[in-house]
Amino acid sequence: MYEFQLSQSYIPAQEDAVVLETTVGGVLRETASRTPEAEALVEVNMEGQTARRWTYRELLAESERLAQALATRFKPGEHITVWAPNIPEWVVMEYACALAGLVLVTANPAYQAKELEYVLRQSASVALFSVKSYRGNPMADIALQATENLPDIREMVDMEDPAALFHMAAEAVPLPDVKPSDAAQIQYTSGTTGFPKGAVLSHRGLTNNARYFNLRTRTDQQASWLNFMPMFHTSGCAVITLGAVQAGCRMLIVKVFDPIAVLDLIEQEKITALLGVPTMLVGMLEALQSHKRDMSSLTMAISGGSMVAPELVRNVCDAFGCEFETVYGQTETYPLISQHHHNDTIEDICTTVGQPMPQTETSIRSVDDNSVVAIDTVGEICVRGYCTMIGYHANEAATSETIDAEGWLHTGDLGAMDSRGYLRITGRVKEMIIRGGENLFPAEIENILLEHPSVAEVAIVGIPDPKWGEIVACFVRPEPGAEADHLDLRRHCREHMSPQKTPATWCFVKEFPLTGSGKIQKFVLRDRYVAGDYDALN
């Protein structure tokens, strides 16, 4: 824990850990040299069963072999899109592109033709590496549609076809000298507020951020990570994958998240750590009620990506018998900005998102004049340092809107900082609801509603209103078997909040529209509500 006594919401970069000049391929080489026979990667197939396994020596050999093949087909700096679920080939491709000096572009395997075409075109990709299908999505057919009018796509490769994947187009050539400051990936933002932008991320940022995550979670070579976070997102391919390789521990890569299968894996493989968005942890808790499993090996559960309710933290700690940490960040920051320490109090874990990561200069700034605000005052969370992306690909306007002239990256998230430097998230700048001139913060209302026993998940959204400008709409997914009643929920809100924060309209849903990384797409809820797609209760 950092010891602060702040009067303003500003923390200089903390130097308890240094920024290393590392690359994605370099950290694999270093670990393979140090512990070549340690288990590195374990495949978990669609049935939830373990399959192929790699040591670090084997993983490096396969990654270097693929890098050599790619180097005969592509030039350093070219952009390659990987469009696939969580399969071992994704991991090998990540290291191979890094070793060959290529920029890996990530794409959600749930994409349809228009979405995939957008990513391929906007990223200036020259190849598409994919699979034939995934969970009923006919990806091979979609790929043909998406690339029909993209003449720059030179290759379309089935990643599960070894002959095509490892094809040598010419004699082997020396691999390039990849620099830590070089672009390693283009990650497309989750799109909770609109059309995605491609954040260009460096080797240095990705590797150091994952190593700092290890320090907070105390990940070492004896750890066993279960990775069911999507590899097309920084949580899967950066935080967990690049964290595991730098610790020299093993990682199980899970092709599809199924709560019961995950519980089985924890018991059978003696998993020690996992990271999941709140919706995943909720699903695991629900599954554990009817499928009791031995969770004693689990020492750490981490969550983030959206609001982590206090009740969820308590339930996970009680049911899993492990420690809990919350992480906060975004794609543009590699992704972590803050995280709890292992010895934080349960109160801090339930009510904050921890302190800033090492080497991450952090401030809370006024949305009106960009000045640093006093402690415990809501403003926009901003960061500066190694953790700021290179920029948005081919979008200078969006880059300059996000990273100001002084180098501060404006997250678009509203939050507050206490005198100890602990951060609290209150909502998004663009999600902030302005009702009759008063600013209302969705996260505050959502936290109260999640304390109600009938509520499993909730999203608070501002809906246009001719009188108030915006009114508060509440979208609720009830607990399985629970009798959720909007009048009862309204009474619950009035008991704990001032009247203007109580939702004016209520919608009960069976599921939420989610981004590929599991975040609720509030702009979709808003658009559907305005279109009359929900039966609202007032």
pLDDT digits (tens, 9 = 90+) for 396-434: 999 999 999 999 999 999 999 999 999 999 888 878 898
Over residues 288-299, the mean pLDDT reads 97
In this prediction, residue 306 carries a pLDDT of 65
416 within 8 A of 378, measured Cβ to Cβ: yes
Residue ending a domain, among 417, 447, 472, is 417
Instruction: Residue 38: name the closest of 246, 297, 298 by CA.
Output: 246
Over residues 72-90, the mean pLDDT reads 98
Whole-angstrom distance, CA of residue 483 vs CA of residue 427: 28
User: Do 398 and 450 lie in a common domain?
Assistant: no
Residue at 152 is within a domain: yes
In this prediction, residue 128 carries a pLDDT of 98
Range with the poorest average pLDDT among 47-56, 114-123, 187-196, 271-280: 187-196
Instruction: Residue 274: name the closest of 245, 309, 243 by CA.
Output: 243
Q: What is the CATH number of the domain that holds 458?
A: 3.30.300.30
User: Do 346 and 397 lie in a common domain?
Assistant: yes
Beta strands in 56-172 (DSSP E): 79-83, 103-107, 125-130, 155-158
Q: What is the pTM of this model?
A: 0.90
pLDDT at 467 over 90: no
User: Do 474 and 390 lie in a common domain?
Assistant: no
User: Do 114 and 188 lie in a common domain?
Assistant: yes
Residue at 48 is within a domain: yes
pLDDT digits (tens, 9 = 90+) for 322-367: 999 999 999 999 999 999 999 999 999 989 999 999 999 999 999 8
CA dihedral 290, 296, 300, 304 (to 10 degrees): 0
In this prediction, residue 307 carries a pLDDT of 67
Residue at 7 is within a domain: no
User: Do 406 and 441 lie in a common domain?
Assistant: no
Residue ending a domain, among 389, 417, 445, is 417
Whole-angstrom distance, CA of residue 326 vs CA of residue 338: 8
14 alpha-carbon distance from chain centroid: 23
Using alpha carbons, list the distances in angstroms from residue 39 to 241, 249, 258, 435. Answer: 14, 7, 24, 55
Residue at 2 is within a domain: no
In this prediction, residue 403 carries a pLDDT of 98
Quick one: what percent of the chain has pLDDT higher than 70? 98
pLDDT digits (tens, 9 = 90+) for 7-26: 999 999 999 999 999 999 99
The one-letter code for the residue type at 304 is G
In this prediction, residue 534 carries a pLDDT of 96
User: Do 102 and 225 lie in a common domain?
Assistant: yes
Coil, helix or strand at residue 179: coil
CA dihedral 273, 278, 281, 285 (to 10 degrees): 140
Domain count, the chain: 2
Angle made by CA atoms 267, 90, 196, in degrees to the nearest 5:
105
In this prediction, residue 193 carries a pLDDT of 54
The one-letter code for the residue type at 533 is D
Confidence band, pLDDT 50/70/90 cuts, at residue 438: confident
Using alpha carbons, list the distances in angstroms from residue 108 to 81, 114, 117, 235. Answer: 10, 12, 12, 13
Tokens of 386: 């190694």
Q: What is the CATH number of the domain that holds 57?
A: 3.40.50.12780
Instruction: Residue 210: name the closest of 235, 186, 189, 191 by CA.
Output: 235
> To the nearest whole number, what is the mean pLDDT of the chain?
95
179 within 8 A of 204, measured Cβ to Cβ: no
Residue at 428 is within a domain: no
Whole-angstrom distance, CA of residue 306 vs CA of residue 427: 10
Residue at 166 is within a domain: yes
- Ramachandran angles phi, psi of 380, nearest 5°: -90, 135
User: Do 381 and 465 lie in a common domain?
Assistant: no
User: Do 129 and 53 lie in a common domain?
Assistant: yes
Residue at 252 is within a domain: yes
pLDDT at 63 over 80: yes
User: Do 109 and 225 lie in a common domain?
Assistant: yes
User: Do 76 and 157 lie in a common domain?
Assistant: yes
pLDDT digits (tens, 9 = 90+) for 155-174: 999 999 999 999 999 999 99
Instruction: Residue 223: name the closest of 284, 296, 299, 276 by CA.
Output: 299
pLDDT digits (tens, 9 = 90+) for 176-199: 999 999 999 999 985 555 568 999
Over residues 116-143, the mean pLDDT reads 96
Q: Which residue segment(s) compose the domain that 347 sits in?
A: 21-417
Residue ending a domain, among 417, 449, 478, is 417
pLDDT at 440 over 90: no
Over residues 116-128, the mean pLDDT reads 97
User: Do 492 and 385 lie in a common domain?
Assistant: no
In this prediction, residue 533 carries a pLDDT of 96
Residue at 3 is within a domain: no
Over residues 264-292, the mean pLDDT reads 95
User: Do 450 and 397 lie in a common domain?
Assistant: no
